[in-house]
């Protein structure tokens, strides 16, 4: 996490949002970006509770399709499989909502959405009341020098999916030298979030730690789905479940 934040700060300083996703996570890029921007938009609405309560999907307001639209995973899949005779390379025209004669300027519209973002805000699945293990031999043991006097970690994000406003990059970097890092990235970032008093948007119900067995549905309803090796094997591979060409 530290190296990722340093990299983003050094090479992506003009970005508005930073999203850190594990490589064993499955998501629909279009839906994910829509939902993340919707949550991080600056408004007078009350922040979602930063606890582990289940948050209904109905709390999400997607960007209006008549102002900003990207192809869905199904349309991408169809485009990949299409190979008309007059197009030997299999390159298809963009969907209707992305035709060249449209009056929609996608880049400009997206940029307008990003100018109204909150600041000092993190969006993730928030975890709390997690014990600090100090017993020798424990898989997640940390020494007594880490958070001395604490038996439980401060609230922190499940590390497989974390989105935050980019103003936090420099703030995190400054704390690296003040708050000594320790090897569990998720909980270390939680310590930094506490120091910075970040506004934490908990979207626990929209970030699944495992698939329900219906991956197509999961991906269409969630921000992201974490796939462990066991669940991936039982699902016979994500590419088959999502009807992607192998």
Give the number of other CB atoms < 10 A from CB of residue 69.
19
The DSSP secondary structure of 34-53, one letter per residue, reads: HHHHHHHB--SSPPPPSSS-
Residue 55: predicted pLDDT: 35
* CA–CA dist 124, 204 (Å, integer): 7
Residue 154: predicted pLDDT: 96
* CA–CA dist 164, 185 (Å, integer): 15
Query: Do 88 and 6 share a structural domain?
Result: no
Q: Which residue has the tokens 């935050």?
A: 164
Query: Do 93 and 199 share a structural domain?
Result: no
Torsions phi, psi for 109 (to 5 deg): -65, -45
Query: Do 161 and 225 share a structural domain?
Result: yes
Per-block mean pLDDT, blocks of 10 residues, the chain (246 long): 89 90 92 91 50 34 33 36 40 38 41 75 96 94 94 96 95 94 95 96 91 82 79 51 48
Query: Do 146 and 62 share a structural domain?
Result: yes
CA distances from 12 to 8, 16, 17, 29 (A): 5, 9, 10, 19
Residue 2: predicted pLDDT: 86
- Is 76 inside a domain boundary? yes
Range of the domain at 35: 2-69+105-241
Query: Do 96 and 25 share a structural domain?
Result: no
Asked which of 103, 122, 153 is the last residue of a domain, the reply is: 103
* CA–CA dist 239, 241 (Å, integer): 6
The string of pLDDT tens digits covering residues 17-69 is 999 999 999 999 998 998 999 999 875 444 444 333 333 333 333 333 333 33
Number of structural domains found in the chain = 2
């Amino acid at each position: 996490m530290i190296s990722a934040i340093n990299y983003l700060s050094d090479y992506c300083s003009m970005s508005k949002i930073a999203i850190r996703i594990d490589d064993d996570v499955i998501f629909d890029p279009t839906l994910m970006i829509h939902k993340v921007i919707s949550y991080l938009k600056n408004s007078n609405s009350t922040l979602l509770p930063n606890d582990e309560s289940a948050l209904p999907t109905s709390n999400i307001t997607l960007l209006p399709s008549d102002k900003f639209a990207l192809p869905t995973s199904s349309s991408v899949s169809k485009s990949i499989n299409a190979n008309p005779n007059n197009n030997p390379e299999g390159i298809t025209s963009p969907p209707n909502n992305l035709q060249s004669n449209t009056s929609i300027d996608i880049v400009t519209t997206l940029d307008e959405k990003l100018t109204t973002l909150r600041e000092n805000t993190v969006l993730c699945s928030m975890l709390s009341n997690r014990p600090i293990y100090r017993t020798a031999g424990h898989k997640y043991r940390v020494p007594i020098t880490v958070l001395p006097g604490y038996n439980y970690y401060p609230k922190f994000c499940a590390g497989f999916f974390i989105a935050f406003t980019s103003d936090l990059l420099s703030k995190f970097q400054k704390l690296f030298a003040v708050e000594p890092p320790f090897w569990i990235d998720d909980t270390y970032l939680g310590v930094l979030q506490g120091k910075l008093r970040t506004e934490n948007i908990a979207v626990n119900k929209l970030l699944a730690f495992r698939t329900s067995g219906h991956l197509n549905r999961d991906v269409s309803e969630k921000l992201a789905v974490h796939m462990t090796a066991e669940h991936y094997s039982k699902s016979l591979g994500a590419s088959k479940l999502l009807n992607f060409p192998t």
